[in-house]
Amino acid sequence: MYNLRVQIDSGSGFCFGVIYAIQMAEDMLDEKGYLYCLGDIVHNDEEVQRLTRRGLRIISHEEFKNLRNETVLIRAHGEPPATYQIAVQNNIELIDASCPVVLKLQNRIKTSYDKKEPIYIYGKQGHAEVLGLLGQTNNNAVVFESLEELQPETLPAQLTLYSQTTKSTSSFYNIKATLEAQGYQVTANDTICRQVSNRDKELRQFARLFDRIVFVSGTKSSNGKVLYNVCKETNPNTFFISAVEELDKAAFLPGERIGICGATSTPMWLMENVQKELLSY
């Protein structure tokens, strides 16, 4: 027996936006037995599979366009205006579980767009939330993941800066400061979700307490990649897994202290299963 001492980070697990979306989905599944969801309800394959077994039907935007007279869940990431227009045309009832933080950001971007401000969004190209934000500008905003992507000769002297809600606060303000140092006038709108951004500091503190860290997250989670790197920087003995089956017993030593943590899209039940497996060594 390895007699590992294993602790789960109490701050890890679903953010309130994901909890809300999954609760709405489960309520509808209890009532109806099945429910369509536009895209993965959360960027975690294990949780998606659990809900799929209960009757959740994940559909693409193409499939959504051809759907008629059904009920469809909009996940926490939010959707562009075009989605709501299609729903009206196709007599689709929408169960809108868009995160309130995302909706607030969408509204602010729409207001800036109506004022004809040049809008720049710090975010991941193609991410579900970012596509919803772009939709508020008729896809006229500029999305970038690093300053290197922006061509100085194309930047306006004055610009309005926004961010995907799950991006790093420090990175956002570093971008603002760098642009201002280069002579640009930047109106920065900090709409980053603090439940997500505060995880950075909390996870650094957690990762220092253990011999090894097991970070549990779906491979599609942008938030998961950021927080994994936070743990890895703090504790080099950090491993990334998406499922219990990916654990490698040979990677641990008897008597070690193991910390388990995850993304805001990682279900607590999955981290508990990882803990149970480690304790069985």
Q: Which CATH class is domain 101-192?
A: alpha beta
| DSSP bridge partners of 38 | 59
pLDDT of residue 87: 98
pLDDT of residue 151: 86
pTM for this one?
Answer: 0.90
Identical fold between 5-13+197-279 and 101-192: yes
Q: What average pLDDT does this structure show over 8-22? A: 94
For the structural domain made of 16-98, what CATH number should be given?
Answer: 3.40.50.11270
- Structure tokens, 236: 């080099």
- Structure tokens, 68: 């008629």
User: In whole angstroms, what is the distance from residue 44 CA to residue 219 CA?
Assistant: 7
Catalytic residue among 46, 129, 149, 245: 129
Average pLDDT, the chain: 95
* Residue 152 pLDDT > 90: no
Contact (Cβ atoms closer than 8 angstroms) between residue 202 and residue 252: no
Our answer to whether residue 129 is catalytic in this structure is yes
pLDDT of residue 223: 84
Q: Domains of the chain: which residue ranges?
A: 5-13+197-279, 16-98, 101-192
Q: What average pLDDT does this structure show over 89-117? A: 97
In 3D, which of 256, 271, 252 has the Cα closest to residue 4?
A: 256
pLDDT of residue 194: 85
Architecture of domain 5-13+197-279: 3-Layer(aba) Sandwich (3.40)
Q: Which of 103-117, 143-157, 186-200 is predicted least confidently?
A: 186-200
Q: What average pLDDT does this structure show over 168-190? A: 94
DSSP state string for 175-234:
HHHHHHHTT-EEEE-----HHHHTHHHHHHHHHTTSSEEEEE--TT-HHHHHHHHHHHHH
